Amino acid sequence: MELNGCLVEPIIGLEIHLQLATRTKMFCGCALEFGAPPNTRVCPVCLGLPGALPAINRAAVELGVRTALALNCRIAEFTKWDRKSYFYPDLPKNYQISQYDLPLSLDGFFEFHVGEAIRKVRIRRAHLEEDAGKNVHELPGCTGVDLNRAGTPLLEIVTEPDLRSAEEARELAVQLHRLVRYLGVSDANMQQGQMRFEPNINCRIERGGRVIRTPIVEIKNLNSFRALHDAIVFEVERQVEAWLENGAVAEPGNKRNRGWDDERCATVAQREKEEAHEYRYFPDPDLVPVVLDQTWVAGVREHMPELPIPRTERFVSQYKVPVREAPTLVDDRATADLLDAAAELGADGVTVAKQFLGFWARLATERGGTIAGLGVDATRIAELARLVSEGQISAAAAAQIAEAMLSERGAAARPTALAEQLGLLQSSDASQIGAWVEAAFAANAQAVRDALENPRKMQAARGFLVGQVMKISGGKADPKMAGELVSQRLTQQTAGEG
């Protein structure tokens, strides 16, 4: 991109902290519970009291492995725990248990859609660690510390600096969020800080034949997709301006941290980031290394659900879903599962998909939820689709029935029963449809005459007349039979004229 007369290429990598959906903390049995009264979900281990010994939460390791496998990472056979020392009120032990040189997993990649194209970003590593507590600033004149969050299991995912724009970073974040919810490894509730982003940003600038790189900045703790996007946009512009002003370029040791001020929509300078050696990483003597049995890892891999990208591809080919509209069906796993379940029950998947994208999506949006959240089971979804594909009701009638299914009265009713009650079943009674055809011909005598005089207009006239039959019948005529009867009658009249 062009900025202030410079050719600018942003270079962006992401660190993502993801809270794992375990019942208890990483190294103790305290419950994970957002919003509990301060310091009521704590014990000697997560309070860092002397002599308390941590024990590894097996479920957290499993969720970490599942995520790492979905990110195409190599799972380490031997992984250990390290102490990362720093001094801060919300860190009661004065160190965080993390993984330094032997992380849980390495060398993966993540693919995500940008428009219809697929982007691939390399994953450097994904490791387990514990979260810190929270400083609370609500009390007058002092800062409180709530340690309920201390010891919460986190997976830290680190990408290579492969991203080139704020849009790409946001897309990655949105689709990674979808992935972890698909995997069931995290609720990834952004409001509760269960997924947080820290982009590393600098710029490659070309001007007058000279190429430089600006100093790397890490923006700490962004907890919405929008903040991630806006912070990157701001930071790229700021770095270009800063370079024009002071000429500073990237050097070892001049990486800086900045925070994001949501109100001012600007990044702001923060404390200097310690170099790795200042964290004084060393192996935690209280914890045994984890040796991962490869058969066990293979078992975790076997139980992986179909992931969003392959599922999108399958929906496009199997259910003839336009790529653009696929996210409506795929993004929410329960909704995608419901579509598959209805198809497995024998409904025509293409029809179900059409109905999902049509009235089901509309009804869900009106109620502020997902299609699966409407609470209609696969059997009734399938039955409604079958009524249309078998020609018993029109497509428009199906929408009406769906609406009725969501009303109090229709909550338990079968679609077929509702179609009867509402008088929406199409007639395939030949004499009834014959009467409608007769009425359509009578009401449109001019169109019929035109068609008979000019054979080239015949096809258009036929379509028009079938439409009129459907209209007169209030959508109840079986369109196929109506079409046949209209053709028959036109042929008869042609013969009669000739």
Q: Going residue by residue from 73 to 112, which x/- string records binding to Mn ion, judged by CB under 5 A?
A: ----------------------------------------
AA letter at 461: A
Which residue, 332, 355, 331, is CA-closest to 343? 355
Crossing angle of the two packed helices 225-246 and 166-183, in degrees rounded to 10: 150
Is the Cβ of residue 156 or residue 235 nearer to Mn ion in the bound state? Answer: 156
Residue 43 or 361 with smaller CB distance to Zn ion:
43
Q: Which does 478 bind (CB under 5 to 8 A by kind): Mn ion, Zn ion, none?
A: none
Residues 6+ apart with CB under 8 A from 444: 464, 465, 468
Q: With CB cut-offs between 5 and 8 Å by kind, which of Mn ion, Zn ion, none does residue 352 bind?
A: none
Residue numbers 13-42 binding Zn ion by CB under 5 A: 28, 30
By beta-carbon proximity to Zn ion, the closer residue of 35 and 375 is 35
Site string for Zn ion, 40-69 (x = CB under 5 A): ---x-xx-----------------------
**Of 466, 442, 455, 444, the residue nearest 497 (C-alpha):** 455
Choose from Zn ion, Mn ion, none: what does 156 bind? Cβ within 5-8 Å by kind. Mn ion
Residue at shortest CB range from Mn ion: 156
Least Å distance, CB 292 to Zn ion, is 25
Q: Quick one: 156 or 478, whose CB is closer to Mn ion?
A: 156
CB of 30 to Zn ion, least distance (A): 3
Residue among 146 and 340 whose Cβ is closer to Zn ion: 146
* 153 vs 415, beta carbon nearer Mn ion: 153
User: Alpha-carbon distance 235 to 219, whole Å?
Assistant: 9
| Phi and psi torsions of 85, nearest 5° | -90, 130
Return the closest-CA partner of residue 88 out of 131, 128, 126, 54.
131
Smallest distance from the beta carbon of 374 to Mn ion, in angstroms? 39
Describe the strand order of the beta sheet including 95-98 as a list of residue ranges: 95-98, 82-85, 282-283
C-beta of 92: minimal distance to Mn ion in Å? 17
What's the min distance (Å) between Cβ of 264 and Zn ion? 38
CB of 134 to Mn ion, least distance (A): 15
Q: How far is the CB of 346 from Mn ion (least distance, A)?
A: 49
DSSP letters of 331-356? Answer: SSHHHHHHHHHHHHTT--HHHHHHHI
Q: Taking the complex as a whole, how short is the minimal distance between the CB of residue 99 and Zn ion, in angstroms?
A: 20
Q: How far is the CB of 277 from Mn ion (least distance, A)?
A: 17
- In whole angstroms, give the CA distance from residue 131 to residue 32: 12
Of residues 44 and 299, the one with the C-beta less far from Zn ion? 44
d(CA 341, CA 371): 13
**Angle at which helices 479-497 and 430-443 pack, to 10 degrees?**
60
Question: Hey, what are 283's tokens?
Answer: 């192996």
28 binds, among Mn ion, Zn ion, none (CB under 5 to 8 A by kind): Zn ion
Name the segment binding Mn ion (CB under 5 A); options: 148-156, 159-167, 192-200, 236-244. 148-156
Q: Residue 417: phi, psi to the nearest 5?
A: -60, -40
Residue 380 contacts residue 411 (beta carbons within 8 Å) = no
What is the closest distance, in whole angstroms, from the C-beta atom of residue 114 to Zn ion in the complex?
42
With contact defined as beta carbons under 8 Å apart, do 391 and 428 qualify?
A: yes
Residues 348-377 that bind Zn ion (CB under 5 A): none
Residue 338 and residue 352: Cα distance in Å, rounded? 10
Quick one: 82 or 156, whose CB is closer to Mn ion? 156
CA pair distance 51, 182, nearest whole angstrom: 39
- Interacting partner of 155 out of Zn ion, Mn ion, none (Cβ under 5 to 8 A depending on kind): none
Rule CB under 5 A: choose which of 62, 82, 130, 156 binds Mn ion.
Answer: 156
Cα separation, 227 vs 261, whole angstroms: 9
| Residue 18 or 46 with smaller CB distance to Zn ion | 46
Residue given tokens 């009265």 in the structure block: 409
Which range in 43-51, 151-159, 322-330, 363-371 contacts Mn ion by CB under 5 A? Answer: 151-159
Task: Compare residues 28 and 418 and give the one whose CB is closer to Zn ion.
Answer: 28
Q: Whole-number minimum distance, CB 32 to Zn ion, in Å?
A: 10
Find out whether 240 and 214 touch, Cβ atoms under 8 Å.
yes
What's the N-to-C CA distance of the chain in angstroms?
Answer: 72
Nearest to 397 by CA among 286, 464, 476: 476
Separation CA 191–CA 186 (nearest Å): 13
Which does residue 490 bind out of Zn ion, Mn ion, none, counting CB within 5 to 8 angstroms by kind?
none
Nearer to Mn ion, 146 or 156 (CB): 156
Binding site for Mn ion (CB under 5 A): 156
Binding site for Zn ion (CB under 5 A): 28, 30, 43, 45-46
